[in-house]
């Protein structure tokens, strides 16, 4: 460890910045955010620094640096282009044990200005010890996307309720366990969603239940998207990491399942044609039972849970049993797979509407509203239609679609095993058979399919 990570309280403390350019402005702004009293030494000031002076947010000395400027200072930042002046500032500050930072000169620093993720009062500082500042900024950008801005409010709530929790739990271990549950459960999600009043009421209930040893479970109904883990939402990832048990479908890819908390119990509830591991009613009751046991239950579904995912049926059952739940939408196969195949579902020149249907065969037929499907300038997206593809194409033609209407079938879209087969309503069934496609697949019918060859951008690994 080259530097000791420390958070320094500079509120109302005199801090010296030598330099008045754009780099100095960034350091001055940071110090002002931390509540420092900033004094700037520079012969001239860049416009944004001059504005701060006009607003009386800083004080200014137009003379060159003098060691007397260090009197009463808590820290010093040198942001000049004069290497000799920078060294003088460093030596003067170091001689009086005042922390000093010379910008872009780690050898002249007794402290480093880190890259910061600010969720005040929660602060995250990232530093490479001055060796790779760009890498530190890249890490910061990754953390910025992973940590919601509402964590600031969550940290504030934790501070607000800390005395109350300390009063109720004598032992530190019990306090820690309570906070771990509160900050990773429904209370946290309420705060992050901006439900402040409900969050405060629920916290009081959570505290009461903890003292009464009453289990309080919850169900997370999460859409896992079309298969590529990169397409998961941030919220989905967060809930996947805090669930105690996951009930998952056949369409959830192994790569996505691997992102679930490793010690979480896994229950497979997949459905295949003529073979259901668990009936839908059994799944509904399973979610209720697990939540009543006080567990955080992740119901993980391929695509979006409200598009041919029976998510509505499941949360109806949860509502009947007063089980708390939350729903996280996922990228449905229609939009995800079509995008990765280079087929826009709507296009000003080809399609002004789009319709989603399911292609499950029932008694060797398809019970669809054919008249609504064969309208001109419309894209038809068929889920789960591989087995019924010949029937689908025949019926569309029989109900008025030209036999040469463009059509495509995509296998395992968005993943490295994606395969796209294009043709017409007349030719697609044989082309799909020849390609030996396997589920899951998505079928797209409409003139937008003609754009595939020109707009395809995603190349799956064919090795």
**Residue found under tokens 């109302």:** 12
Distance of alpha carbon 26 from the chain centroid: 28
The CATH superfamily holding the domain 334-455 is Tetrapyrrole methylase, C-terminal domain (3.30.950.10)
Residue 35 annotated as lining a ligand binding site: no
Torsion over CA: 246, 415, 235, 303 (sign): negative
Is residue 23 marked as binding? yes
What residues does CATH 3.40.50.720 cover in the chain? 14-113
Residue 191 assigned as binding residue: no
Please, what is the average pLDDT of the chain?
91
- Averaged pLDDT for residues 440-444: 96
Residues forming the active site: 249, 271
In words, the CATH class of domain 14-113 is alpha beta
**CA–CA distance, 380 with 443 (Å, rounded to integer):** 8
Q: Where are the alpha helices (DSSP H) in 341-380?
A: 370-373
With bands split at pLDDT 50, 70 and 90, how would you rate the model's confidence at 364? confident
Topology given in CATH for the domain delimited by 215-331: Cobalt-precorrin-4 Transmethylase; domain 1 (3.40.1010)
Range list for CATH 3.40.1010.10 in the chain = 215-331
Instruction: Give the range among 42-56, 260-274, 440-454 with minimum mean pLDDT.
Output: 260-274
Classify strands 245-248 and 296-301 as parallel, antiparallel or unpaired. Answer: parallel
Instruction: Give the helix/strand (H/E) hosting 1.
Output: none
Per-residue model confidence (pLDDT) at position 278: 86
- Over its C-alpha atoms, the chain yields an Rg (Å, rounded) of 30
Grade residue 276 by pLDDT with cuts at 50, 70 and 90: low
Q: CA of 72: how far to CAs of 75, 86, 97, 293, 368, in Å?
A: 9, 20, 12, 60, 81
Whether residue 332 contacts residue 304, with contact meaning beta carbons closer than 8 Å, is answered with yes
384 is in an annotated binding site: yes
pTM of the model: 0.68
Q: Which of 72-86, 120-134, 310-324 has the lowest mean pLDDT?
A: 120-134
Q: Distance between CA atoms of 28 and 31, rounded to whole angstroms?
A: 5
In whole angstroms, what is the distance from residue 17 CA to residue 86 CA?
Answer: 11
Q: What are the pLDDT digits (tens) for 67-118?
A: 999 999 999 999 999 999 999 999 999 999 999 999 989 899 999 888 899 9
The residue with greater pLDDT, 366 or 453, is: 453
**Residue 380 annotated as binding site:** no
Residues of CATH 3.30.950.10 domain(s) within the chain? Answer: 334-455
pLDDT of 408 strictly over 50: yes
Most confident of 127-141, 198-212, 227-241, 443-457: 443-457
């Amino acid at each position: 460890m080259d530097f000791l990570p420390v958070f320094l309280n500079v509120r109302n403390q005199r801090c010296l910045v030598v330099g008045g350019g754009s780099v100095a402005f960034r350091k001055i702004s940071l110090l002002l955010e931390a509540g420092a009293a900033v004094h700037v030494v520079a012969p001239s000031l860049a416009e944004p620094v001059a504005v701060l002076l006009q607003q009386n947010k800083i004080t200014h000395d137009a003379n060159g640096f003098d060691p007397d400027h260090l009197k009463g200072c808590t820290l010093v930042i040198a942001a000049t282009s004069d290497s000799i002046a920078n060294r003088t500032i460093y030596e003067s500050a170091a001689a009086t044990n005042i922390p000093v930072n010379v910008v872009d000169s780690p050898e002249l620093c007794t402290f480093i200005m880190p890259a910061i993720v600010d969720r005040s009062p929660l602060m995250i500082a990232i530093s490479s010890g001055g060796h790779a500042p760009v890498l530190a900024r890249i890490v910061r950008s990754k953390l910025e996307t992973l940590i919601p801005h509402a964590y600031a409010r969550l940290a504030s709530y934790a501070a607000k309720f800390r005395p109350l929790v300390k009063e109720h739990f004598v032992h530190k271990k019990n306090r820690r366990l309570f906070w771990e549950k509160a900050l990773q459960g429904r209370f946290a999600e309420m705060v992050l969603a901006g439900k402040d009043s409900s969050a405060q009421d629920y916290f009081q209930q959570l505290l009461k239940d903890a003292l009464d040893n009453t289990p309080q479970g919850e169900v997370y109904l999460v859409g896992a998207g079309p298969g590529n883990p990169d397409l998961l939402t941030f919220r989905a990832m967060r809930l996947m990491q805090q669930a105690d048990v996951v009930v998952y479908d056949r369409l959830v890819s192994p790569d996505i399942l691997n992102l679930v908390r490793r010690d979480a119990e896994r229950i497979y509830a997949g459905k295949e044609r003529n073979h259901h591991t668990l009936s839908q009613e059994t799944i509904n009751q399973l979610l209720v039972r697990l939540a009543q046991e006080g567990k955080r239950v992740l119901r993980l579904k391929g695509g979006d849970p409200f598009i041919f995912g029976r998510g509505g049926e499941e949360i109806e059952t949860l509502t009947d049993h007063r089980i708390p739940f939350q729903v996280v939408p996922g990228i449905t196969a229609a939009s995800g797979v079509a995008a990765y195949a280079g087929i826009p579902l709507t296009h000003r020149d080809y399609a002004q509407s789009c319709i989603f249907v399911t292609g499950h065969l029932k008694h060797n037929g398809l019970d669809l509203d054919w008249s609504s499907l064969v309208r001109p300038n419309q894209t038809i997206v068929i889920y789960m239609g591989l087995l019924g593809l010949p029937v689908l194409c025949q019926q569309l033609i029989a109900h008025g679609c030209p036999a040469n209407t463009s059509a495509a079938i995509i296998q395992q879209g968005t993943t490295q095993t994606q395969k796209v087969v294009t043709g017409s309503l007349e030719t697609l069934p044989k082309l799909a058979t020849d390609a030996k496609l396997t589920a899951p697949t998505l079928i797209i019918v409409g003139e937008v399919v003609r754009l595939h060859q020109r707009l395809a951008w995603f190349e799956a690994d064919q090795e």
